[in-house]
A = this chain, B = another copy of it.
């Protein structure tokens, strides 16, 4: 059985980022840049006032001086002339500092009456002036390629005068649930069957990780049906199957895909829940075969599919984000399989995160998984630790997973 980290490394090494597309900035939130975003202008474009007040010559700004107010300079409306000796211009935050001025008299340090302003506190030349280019200069790289765009980034790209950005396409993930026994919610349930939960849970996880899910029709346990469904997925960036991956007699996925040109790199992975997992390639399309058990499928998806989506989106290869937490219960020594304890996630009295594993970790229990806000990670042969010990956990809910 392969170690989890090695399995993930092999999967990630086989993937590449999707091609680029150019989209409107207004649609770019949470997308990953394929090209850097440049500054197409200088910000601020000229020296501007950081405060409301009066622009004047520093030499004229001693306490008690009286200056003629010769105009106004609100943001967006530069004063047309220049400031000479004994003159001042009413200025507002963001207003251009007029030629000749090199100091700002704050509004609260000024008294204006009858077209004249009296200096109540001596000014410091240069103070409260934001220099041209303080934020960025035309030609600067504002945002590098490979960055997932936040709301702040969208603001910065806009300020740099970019109506369009070039991003990686959302990875398109074909999802194929297999099994005679499954039906979609609301459909007639075959005798002895269950309602399929994997396809839609995985589709939601794909969305949460920035991909575009494509749910293929459920394929019964039948070679032809699986092969036909899978070939429909050749246009996807990855095909994810669930079910049919275990070592029993009903493991049809591998057999069904073989004649379609499937190159198998089959693994059992030393992990719990999980273990049966298929990794290979159908023509050019990578194929990830997840276990049919919904809890196993989701835990495997967190460990393999979420990082795979990141790489396909143009982000660096990395394990899922983890959090250092204290365990809310003692943990037993682990065996040779990498374990994932479904846990609640809260905080202790000092506000530090605490994850407490649920007593029953049966991998068939979806309701327990839904309540689990974190997976405590127990690497192979991890020693027993007491309650309160620091352990690593993957938070789920805060990433929408």
Contacts and interface: CB of A to CB of B under 8 A. Distances in A.
Interface in A153-177: 153-164
Contacts of A224: none
A99 interface: no
Interface in A282-319: 292-294, 298
Contacts of A38: none
B396 A76 contact: no
Contacts of A95: 192
Contacts of A246: 52, 93
Copies, count = 2
Nearest to A149: B204
A22 interface: no
Interface string A8-33: 00000000000000000110111000
A136 B74 CA distance: 65
Interface in A350-381: 350-352, 362, 364-367, 369-370, 372
A317 to B, nearest CB: 18
Contact of A195 (B29, B160, B365): B160
Contact of A76 (B180, B350, B352, B372): B180
Interface of A: 25-26, 28-30, 41, 43-46, 50, 52, 74-78, 92-96, 107, 130, 134-136, 140, 142-143, 148-164, 179-182, 184-186, 189-205, 207-208, 215, 221, 246-250, 292-294, 298, 321, 324, 350-352, 362, 364-367, 369-370, 372, 392, 396-401
Given A76-B182, A77-B181, A135-B365, 7 more contacts: A25-B185, A41-B195, A96-B192, A151-B208, A154-B197, A158-B197, A398-B398
29 contacts: A26-B200, A44-B364, A74-B181, A74-B250, A75-B180, A76-B180, A76-B193, A76-B221, A77-B180, A77-B192, A78-B191, A93-B246, A96-B192, A130-B364, A150-B396, A151-B202, A152-B298, A152-B366, A155-B198, A155-B204, A155-B294, A155-B370, A156-B197, A158-B196, A160-B185, A160-B195, A161-B189, A162-B186, A324-B351
A134 B365 contact: yes
A284 to B, nearest CB: 27
